[in-house]
Structure 1
């Protein structure tokens, strides 16, 4: 578990100090894939570097399993930093793919047989088992990024930091880069922290997420919990839009917004409630998406029938998130 407690950080500029982080608090679960998302200059990279022990905060504490890393100096700090790998996309052009991945192991004096075994394992993880003898110049940008991730993983770190890992990678290769990060978490046991301006990365691979803006945490937590939170900026960014004209609601007794999480809820909960309570649900907005491998639906429903309250209470008891849409000038379609 990594906890960030009241962390602030600023940097000197030409004529002032730029505040990068302001009293940031968050928790990163061990073994999770944690996304730090937000617009440019939100403080994402600075926060990630503080978590990776590459920057010391001006105030506040970064703890690893309860240990205050701010108190570490010398060899103890160096030992903690070795457990946190940072992806560096700059590969050595004269070395092969396998040679680039092996470089950290060579510096540590790892025996050749062990190096070869570790490199072979990582080539399989990144899906480039047949590319070990090739040079970086022979690879696509996405493949090069995957090699950089493998190199960072060579020493089996506990934590992997990937700052904007899909920057400069073409759309069709993005999925492969994100898949490598997911495999690093799932198969190699690393806690993975990624930063990005693209919130869609959180939807595709993250378990937990923090939204930053101007150095402050706007929202953080487990992604599948946040998507059902009324007014959640992250949910608004990741789930299908439910905007509908108010006039479309006139033929229904009630309008509600419903978020359903998981295969069973998405596939069966509404039909079962309709049959059990003799109500009619009509989808008038929203749709389906996926958060990682989990299907999630957000629907705006028109509901008709005598037992609407009982039906809505029943689906809420089974994990659905039910809310009443609030209409204002921004909510009503022109």
Structure 2
């Protein structure tokens, strides 16, 4: 587990002090895929470097499984750093070496013997889907493939934590999906804790369990992605959920309108039809739509409701996990049942 407590970091630039982090606190659960999201200059890369022990904060503490890393130096610091794999925005690969050779280089430095080294490299090539490219050199690969090689290299020494700084930067959308799939496999198949920094909320939608949103060096929102999207007012929900665009005329056709967020297969597939039958009302979708958060289907809809028991039907949906907000009466002024 990674615990960041009240981290602050300031840099001197052209004679001025620039605050990169302000009292940042986050918890990253072991085995999770944690996203740090924010625009350029929000401090997300500085936070990643502090967690990777590449930067020392001015104040605050980074703990790895309870160990205060601020007290480490020398040999002990080097030992702990080996538990932290880092993937930078620009992969650091040796142009003259093959892809397999690049992945093997950290193992060579650790003195791992040949058979064990070859076995580990073969497993990692399979993990990142690049076994057919093993004998090629970096110059022959695309940007997305190079990023996957960098992930494999960072995983070579079996770190407990992998930090990927904006892993989809400069990668086209199709290849970006392959990079994210590799990070997800590292978490699910190797048990590696993965921390991803990104300006792209789409990365969070596809792979993250938990998220911290940074703005001007400050955490403005944090929590599990599914919990945050359940609150339509949250920044995460606004970034990830389908937009709702309706006109007053569309809403006026119904006795009641409401915004509803449904999370999970059962809620998305069955909750509204069951409520309609139970309360003898009609639901119509007049805005919003469906998306996926990881493998979980999520719907955000503006519903028009017809029927005398419209209020009771919406209350029943809310009691069973639907998140109902912004209810409004239509022109017929239906009374709650």
TM-score category, normalised to shorter length = over 0.9
- Separation (CA, whole Å) in 1 of partners of 2:189 and 2:267: 28
Aligned residue for 1:331? none
What CA deviation, in whole Å up to 9, does each residue of 1:24-79 have, x standing for no partner? 11111111111111111010100111122211111111122222221222222222
What is residue 283 of structure 1 aligned with on the other side?
285
SS in 1 for 2:302: strand
CA distance in 1: counterparts of 2:75 and 2:306, whole angstroms:
68
Residue in 1 that maps onto 2:71: 71
Q: Matches of 2:71 and 2:315 in 1, distance apart?
A: 51
Work out the CA distance in 1 between the residues paired with 2:133 and 2:320. 49
Q: Classify 1:71/1:325 alpha carbon distance in 2 versus 1 (closer, same or farther; 3 Å).
A: farther
Gaps of 5+ in 1: 327-334
TM-score, normalising length from structure 1? 0.95
User: How many residues matched?
Assistant: 326
Within 2, Cα distance between the matches of 1:145 and 1:280? 50
> What is the distance in 1 between the residues matched to 2:323 and 2:31?
27
8 A contact 2:37–2:200 mirrored in 1:
yes
Query: What does 1:258-297 correspond to in 2, within 5 Å?
Result: 258-297=260-299
Measure how far apart 1:325 and its partner are: 5.8
1:203 aligned to which of 199, 202, 205: 205
* Contact kept in structure 1, 2:232 and 2:238, CA below 8 Å: no
User: TM-score when scaled to structure 2?
Assistant: 0.94
Instruction: Give the structure 2 partner of residue 162 of structure 1.
Output: 164
Aligned to 2:46: 46
Query: Which whole-Å CA distance do the structure 2 matches of 1:199 and 1:80 have between them?
Result: 31
Looking at structure 2, the residues matched to 34 and 26 of structure 1 have their Cα atoms a distance apart, in angstroms, of 10
Equivalent residue number for residue 56 of structure 1? 56
SS of alignment partner, residue 3 of structure 2: strand
Once residues 116 and 191 of structure 2 are traced to their aligned partners in structure 1, the CA distance between those partners, rounded to angstroms, is: 19
Deviation at 1:199, TM superposition (A): 1.0
Aligned to 1:330: none
* Distance in 2 between residues matched to 1:289 and 1:112, nearest whole Å: 47
Which residue of structure 2 lines up, in the alignment, with residue 114 of structure 1? 116
Residues 256 and 327, structure 2, Cα contact 8 Å, conserved in 1: no
Match of 1:332 in 2: none
